[in-house]
Structure 1
Amino acid sequence: MTVRVSDVMTRNVVAVQESTPIEVARRTLLSRGFFALPVRDHRGRLVGIVTEADLLPPEPGDGRTVGDVMTTDVISVPRHLAASVASHRMVTYGFRALPVVEGYDTDLLVGIVTRRDLLGEPEWARRRGPTYRVWKWLRRPAPVSPLRGPSRRTTAQDVMTWVVAAHEDWSVERAAKELTGHGFTALPVVDDDDRVIGIVTEWHLLPDPLTGRRAHTVGGVMKRDVITARPDEPVSDVVRSMAVHELRAVPVVDGTGRLAGIVTRRDLLC
């Protein structure tokens, strides 16, 4: 049985319009735990997509709208496409989410499919029963509550959050479960002394786009050349580093290289 995009996608998609203020889009991302929002017109047709990166850095009184920052050259997938093909496109182009449209000849937005939806889908999930619905609920993104009051967040330690650390001998299934279960963007990989030796993301855990196979352990897929930040590093430097290297998360380490936390794009949106 072929699993289609429509079998794993989110149907009640949250979308914005070109006229939506940037601050509204930012609050929507944070409150819902999303990392991208499709943009549709008044007829429900896909016209663009806006991501966390488009909304950084947050600026007080920013009067721009989603139409000013969104990407209009959007790659979408039809709902009847095989989920394996959607996974291939995500790996090939480095996407975290793909808007889903009704068919090849229409831009009518009907859903969105993410890497999280495609990670390690078990055989029983294909039966679409009550257990499947529980599985989908557990894999929902974790919402982030925006900080209240005056912001004094000037260094990495002011914005970093707690994160599970993985080990090289972890199975990719375990790493995928931790990522999807907690809504993490990435997992730092540490040695027995809690020193950061790598990082693994959703992208690393998706099956190979050509063979459909993937490595068995985190050590076989993780990125070993890791860019990190110091706890006292200015947030502006972290933002710049993430932009230059196109990163979604930066581990924070102390003077001995031990993991202290992680800074993600979502942390910087608050």
Structure 2
Amino acid sequence: MTLFDRPVAEFATKNVVTVSEKEKVLNAMKTMISLDIRRLPIVRGDKVVGIITMLDILDAIYSWLSDKNASGTLYSDIYMKSVAEVGTRSVVTVRPNTPVGEVISLFLRHNFGSMPIVDEEGRLVGIFTEWDVLKLASQLDFPHRVRDVMTRIVYVLTPYSTVMDVLEGITVYKFRRYPIVDESGKVVAMLHAKDVLRYFAEDETVEKIRQGAVEEVVNNYAINIAKSPIFLAKPSDPVIDVVRKMLEYDVGGVPVVNEEGTAVIGMVTEKTLLLLFEESQ
């Protein structure tokens, strides 16, 4: 039996943190940040009825900010909504014995980032995510170089980019990670979507939003909330070295710079690394 034929349950997270369908979005945000997770299955009893992700929440915040006809407040309309109203209701699930290769293929085909695992009665027994795929990749001997897997479409920020600019990039352009570069093109900070969620979940930010000071919140410079470690790769670096450092640094994306380190020319992400498995199966 090859690795790809083994049951997905062998590699999945067993003790899954969930949220009830009536829980408030604000509480889900704080749970994600405190536990450093990106998604929470929504349950009714012990059955999965949806999922809410970090991106669902940031998309909802951006949509509210962009809606010129919004009559309420960001606090009441998003933070105080139930997770069932903001999350995804229609969730694809798999059984514990589904081959891990089949699940990875579903990730690639449908652009999934996670897969809840349920038993015959529909009860949640685990979850398999892109991060679990990264752990699998670290155990394999891929001969590829970074240039073979990097995407050459990169969204970079400057020290003058705002939080609103980042929200637009996340929602409209679907980028989750942002190198912040100075005038010479050197990377001076790294901003990940989880940094943005952390910012919107901080007590100080929540209080400003509750009081209606939304403009102050979104006009803050993005570099002020960039908390992720800076880890750069070169096109000639072995992919497996980058995968292991991603796990060590706890980052889901790495900027690729030219040999001189003066320009960002690509990104390696969990999504691009999935393609390695497509070739291997």
Aligned residues: 193
Give the deviation of 1:39 after TM superposition. Answer: 0.8
Give the deviation of 1:79 after TM superposition. Answer: 0.8
SS in 2 for 1:203: helix
SS in 2 for 1:110: strand
Identify if the C-alpha distance between structure 1 residues 163 and 96 changes in structure 2 by more than 3 Å, giving closer, same or farther. Answer: farther
Q: Where in structure 2 are the equivalents of 1:19-168 lying within 5 Å?
A: 19-42=22-45, 44-56=46-58, 57=61, 59-61=74-76, 62-103=79-120, 106-119=121-134, 120=137, 122=139, 147=202, 149=204, 154-161=220-227, 162-168=229-235
1:198 maps to which residue? 266
Give the deviation of 1:210 after TM superposition. Answer: 4.7
Measure the CA separation in 1 of the matches of 2:91 and 2:114.
11
Which amino acid is 1:109 matched to?
L
Q: Percent sequence identity over matched residues?
A: 25
Q: Where in structure 2 are the equivalents of 1:203-242 lying within 5 Å?
A: 203-208=271-276, 210-212=278-280
Structure 1 runs (4+) greater than 3 angstroms displaced: 58-61, 144-153, 207-211
Which amino acid is 2:252 matched to?
T
Q: Give the TM-score normalised by structure 2.
A: 0.62
Measure the CA separation in 2 of the matches of 1:47 and 1:24.
18
Give the deviation of 1:163 after TM superposition. Answer: 2.6
Report Cα offsets for 1:193-235 as digits up to 9, x if no partner.
231111111011124565426xxxxxxxxxxxxxxxxxxxxxx
Measure the CA separation in 1 of the matches of 2:248 and 2:119.
29
Which amino acid is 1:163 matched to?
I
Q: Give the TM-score normalised by structure 1.
A: 0.64
More divergent stretch after superposition (46-55 vs 156-165) = 156-165
Which of 231, 246, 251 is equivalent to 1:184? 251
CA contact (8 A) 1:92 1:209 kept: no
CA contact (8 A) 1:8 1:113 kept: yes
In structure 1, stretches of 5+ residues that fail to align are: 124-140, 214-270
In structure 2, stretches of 5+ residues that fail to align are: 63-73, 141-193, 209-215
